[in-house]
């Protein structure tokens, strides 16, 4: 059975910066009865402490607040080869951690077969305000995409 680690990145104290953590919480609730080979991880802002979750899985799916170079307010999905080019444009310290994680995993020869980043651009990063209405409107779609990817990996 394929091992899938689903990691939510972000700081829930800074508005939409908490998108990744909230998306993973909701996805875990929606997945219900799934095999033990799928793990949901609140990665917060742990950076290199997440290395084992990257190196130990066949598929890693990361949810995070992201800012593409040119963007609309929508859900973005990056896979495998598209991901490294994207993560060198950083929004916050934990994205630097994601870049470093992938580099170390590559050095160790333990890069997952499939690596997916699902993200949305933040609307607000204010302290203590929770997820904005704009990002809340995208959460359902992001979680739906994540569930479809999990189902596809488990059935494939």
Give the model's pLDDT for residue 70.
Answer: 67
pLDDT at residue number 88: 47
The three-state DSSP-derived secondary structure of 46-78 is CHHHHHHHHHCCCEEEEEEECCCCCCCCCCEEE
For residue 80, is it left (φ>0), alpha (ψ between -120 and 50) or beta? left
CB-CB contact of 149 with 113 (8 Å)? no
- pLDDT < 70 positions in the chain: 69-70, 84-97
Q: What pLDDT was estimated at residue 97?
A: 66
Quote the pTM value.
0.88
Structural domains of the chain ordered from first start: 4-155 (3.40.50.1450)
What is the model's pLDDT at position 94? Answer: 47
């Amino acid at each position: 059975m394929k091992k899938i680690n689903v990691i939510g990145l972000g700081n829930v104290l800074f508005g939409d910066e908490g998108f990744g953590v909230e998306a993973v919480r909701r996805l875990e609730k929606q997945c219900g009865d799934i095999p033990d080979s799928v793990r949901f991880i609140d990665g917060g802002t742990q950076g290199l402490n997440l290395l084992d979750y990257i190196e130990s899985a066949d598929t890693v799916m990361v949810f995070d607040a992201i800012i593409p170079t040119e963007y609309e307010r929508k859900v973005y999905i990056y896979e495998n080869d598209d991901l490294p080019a994207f993560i060198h444009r950083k929004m916050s310290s934990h994205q630097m951690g994601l870049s470093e994680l992938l580099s170390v995993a590559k050095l160790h020869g333990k890069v997952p077969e499939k690596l997916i980043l699902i993200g949305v651009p933040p609307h607000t990063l204010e302290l203590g305000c929770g997820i904005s209405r704009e990002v809340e409107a995208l959460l359902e779609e992001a979680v739906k995409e994540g569930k479809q990817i999990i189902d596809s990996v488990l059935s494939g």
